[in-house]
Structure 1
Amino acid sequence: MGGSRGGGGGGEVISLLLVLLVLATCHSAFAIRDGLLRNGNFELGPNATSLKGTEVLGRFAIPEWEISGFVEYIKSGQKQGDMLLVVPEGAFAVRLGNEASIKQRFKVIKGMYYSLTFSAARTCAQEEKLNISVAPDSGVLPMQTMYSSNGWDSYAWAFQAEYGYADILIHNPGVEEDPACGPLIDSIAIRALFPPRPTNKNILKNGGWEEGPYILPNTSWGVLIPPNIEDDHSPLPGWMVESLKAVKYIDSDHFSVPQGKRAVELVAGKESAIAQVARTIPGKAYTLTFAVGDASNACAGSMLVEAFAGRDTLKVPYTSNGKGGFKRAVLRFVAVSTRTRVMFYSSFYHMRSDDFSSLCGPVIDDVKLLSVRGNGRV
């Protein structure tokens, strides 16, 4: 590093290259972590001696997991009365009864952000919910609304690592008359998040939603970002879900996406809103550009997206035939504050034309916020 004293830029260049190399190495190391937790799909089950019917006996009977309370090991196609229990991936899942929980410890990088993805289904009660925690963070995921007709939804939840390890705990706080009554859990995965920053090409962070939770590769129903998610620990870095219902995170492998690999589908009308607060200069002119389309998931009909930037609003109609496509829109406004809230929601509710019990809606993507130069050009 002695060359940095010579007054030339060689040392600075070398230092910069070293930093970039470290970042690239770290990103590569983190990328390896993306995917299922150990036995995250529960395909490795308890020994026969650790089962009493479907009830799991023994705290460590399920490989890689620690359980508490009434936990069942469920095989796909198993019946509960007249109801058939369906497993979304593979052949097995677990069911959490009253006050039951599952826990696993895994290595993380202190200070790093992570998103957990898992699949869940109601089996009994209408008011089922789950507590998700990685100390000191915790959250409650409501499951009153099922968004897909197959009985399954995948959810995301994020946390920041306080230590070099994390204990993920999924707990059913319900107290039902039937102690076994509770949600089925399957396919628990993790993804390291790299929170993006504003750039000279976009004041908004993560405007294309390319940074987000892990999407299970063998699933075709996307990942729900739960309601009331704040941006400090959001599975969609930079964005908040400010609504009573979730928004859906979708990928180009299974859906039509206007740009890149990821987008957001507004699946619950005005109850499904996503927002970000951006730094702005009062009195300065800005343009908010974005794409509105459909996910090519048989969500057909007349759609209407409402976009907000501070006190200004734009309504964008979009006629969908349910087979993909999009249009672009621009909202021009003058900032009145140092912070401007940008928000989107769908004005109407929609159901898939081939499945009247699956919620759907317009897709939002490629959201950009830019200041307007004095000559009027962006």
Structure 2
Amino acid sequence: MGIVAIVGTLLLMCAIAHTSVAFTEGLLPNGNFEQGPARSELNGTQVTSRTAIPSWEISGYVEYIESGHKQGDMLLVVPEGSYAVRLGNEASIKQRVKVAGGLRYSLTFSAARTCAQAEQLNVSASGQSGVLAMQTMYSSNGWDSYAWAWIAKSDDVDVIIHNPGVTDDPACGPLIDSVAMKALYPPKPTNKNLLKNGDFEEGPYILPNTSWGVLIPSNTVDDHCPIPGWMVESLKAVKYLDSAHFSVPKGRRAVELLAGKESALSQVIRTVPGRSYVLSFSVGDAKNACMGSLMVEAYAARDSLKVAYDSKGTGGFKRAALRFRATSARTRIVFWSSYYNTRSDDLSSLCGPVLDDVAVLSVRSPKRL
């Protein structure tokens, strides 16, 4: 091959690496990393070329990991398919996606901690970013799926997952797999519910081949919650569940409150001062071996309610209602779990009560509450 042809090929490769991929809901192109680098672009497991992984651009110390790969005495397990990438010190992966400016999008991906105990991931797009701490692992298999949301400020967006950590071993860092995107459309209150998205049907993409749900981070990490209408105001995440793998009281989606009072979910609604309202909701268990005494605390204005649920770990739910009187034009609705619970089949995995089918309606009453 002549020099001109070689240069042309290299320029074409660079152009492909910077070309925007039209957004479609689900996995990004090669989002599961099953298409890997050529052998000539690997030094052991380390990827040596910036554009070696199809559809991705890398920087820093990035490894291409096959399921079952051993690191010392540790076996690295890939959650989906046969391959994943590991981000070492200051390493990142990037893909450019064509979106609709002004819309909210969520990114879902799976990650696992490997060497370090306090690993983090910095996720960014459209000039917005959030740092996801991975010190607490919620699933027994060592993997968790995370969601992070942002508002697209242009039609072309670079989605970046970066490991900001610096450890003694430059290869130490989290494994990343199954990167997916979804557009989020803001639901509105109706005459049947003053809450937005009270049934949690609008939310991040849930990877179909995973059975551990998706973690929704605190609003200290994400300004745009992946569950539109809601905010996670606690230190710990809440978990977004699907009916394909969990018991869900109504519809296809629900939320699990994982970490006691550190796992709070809230929404601010418009109310009329002095008017009476009823907050109704379902409390249950996810059929995930979360057994024992579960309890959800609900707060609205100056009123509160504790709802106990005796879980057998096999699914089921109960309805509850809190009557309150609005004291201002904005009322904050808050839910959290009273207790810390772990699964009966795995005492290291946090679990908790399921919340679903939440509604607020105005009621007429001559009585003072």
Equivalent of 1:195, from 175, 186, 199? Answer: 186
Equivalent of 1:357, from 348, 352, 355? Answer: 348
Give 1:232 deviation, angstroms.
5.5
- Residue of structure 1 equivalent to 2:337: 346
Q: Distance in 1 between matches of 2:185 and 2:103?
A: 8
Q: Distance in 1 between matches of 2:222 and 2:353?
A: 22
- Deviations along 1:179-238, whole A, 9 cap, x unmatched? 010000000000111110111001010001000000000000000001235886110001
- Residue of structure 2 equivalent to 1:50: 41
Q: Distance in 2 between matches of 1:197 and 1:230?
A: 24
What TM-score, normalized by structure 2, do the two folds share?
Answer: 0.92
Q: Distance in 2 between matches of 1:231 and 1:48?
A: 38
Give 1:272 deviation, angstroms.
0.6
- Deviations along 1:106-165, whole A, 9 cap, x unmatched? 110111111100000000111101000002111111111000110000000001111111
The answer to whether 1:141 aligns with 2:125 is no
- Residue of structure 1 equivalent to 2:72: 81
The answer to whether 1:286 aligns with 2:277 is yes
**Where do 5+ consecutive residues of structure 1 fail to align?**
1-30
DSSP-derived class of the 2:310 partner = strand
Is the CA contact (8 Å cut-off) linking 2:94 and 2:159 kept in structure 1? yes
Is the CA contact (8 Å cut-off) linking 1:230 and 1:239 kept in structure 2? no
Is the CA contact (8 Å cut-off) linking 1:292 and 1:326 kept in structure 2? yes
The answer to whether 1:215 aligns with 2:206 is yes
DSSP-derived class of the 1:270 partner = helix
- Residue of structure 2 equivalent to 1:116: 107
Detail structure 1 runs of 4+ shifted over 6 Å in the superposition: none
- Residue of structure 1 equivalent to 2:51: 60
The answer to whether 1:316 aligns with 2:330 is no
The answer to whether 1:71 aligns with 2:76 is no
Amino acid in the other structure paired with 2:216: I
- Residue of structure 2 equivalent to 1:130: 121
**Where do 5+ consecutive residues of structure 2 fail to align?**
1-21
Equivalent of 1:330, from 321, 324, 339? Answer: 321
The answer to whether 1:96 aligns with 2:63 is no
CA gap of 1:231–1:309, structure 2 versus 1, over 3 A, is: farther
Is the CA contact (8 Å cut-off) linking 2:149 and 2:222 kept in structure 1? no
Q: Distance in 1 between matches of 2:347 and 2:83?
A: 28
DSSP-derived class of the 2:339 partner = coil
CA gap of 1:229–1:250, structure 2 versus 1, over 3 A, is: farther
Is the CA contact (8 Å cut-off) linking 2:126 and 2:151 kept in structure 1? no
Amino acid in the other structure paired with 2:272: I
The answer to whether 1:227 aligns with 2:226 is no
Equivalent of 2:195, from 199, 204, 207? Answer: 204
What TM-score, normalized by structure 1, do the two folds share?
Answer: 0.90
Is the CA contact (8 Å cut-off) linking 2:132 and 2:221 kept in structure 1? no
CA RMSD of aligned residues (A): 1.4
Matches within 5 A, 1:164-175: 164-175=155-166
- Residue of structure 1 equivalent to 2:254: 263
Amino acid in the other structure paired with 1:117: T
The answer to whether 1:154 aligns with 2:145 is yes
Give 1:358 deviation, angstroms.
1.2
Report how many residues are paired: 346
Of 309-318 and 231-240, deviating more is: 231-240
CA gap of 1:374–1:308, structure 2 versus 1, over 3 A, is: closer
Q: Distance in 2 between matches of 1:198 and 1:173?
A: 40
Equivalent of 2:170, from 171, 174, 179? Answer: 179
DSSP-derived class of the 1:343 partner = strand
Q: Distance in 2 between matches of 1:374 and 1:127?
A: 53
Amino acid in the other structure paired with 1:211: E
Give 1:373 deviation, angstroms.
2.9
Amino acid in the other structure paired with 1:222: G
Is the CA contact (8 Å cut-off) linking 2:276 and 2:365 kept in structure 1? no
- Residue of structure 1 equivalent to 2:227: 236
Q: Distance in 1 between matches of 2:222 and 2:257?
A: 18
Q: Distance in 1 between matches of 2:198 and 2:156?
A: 31
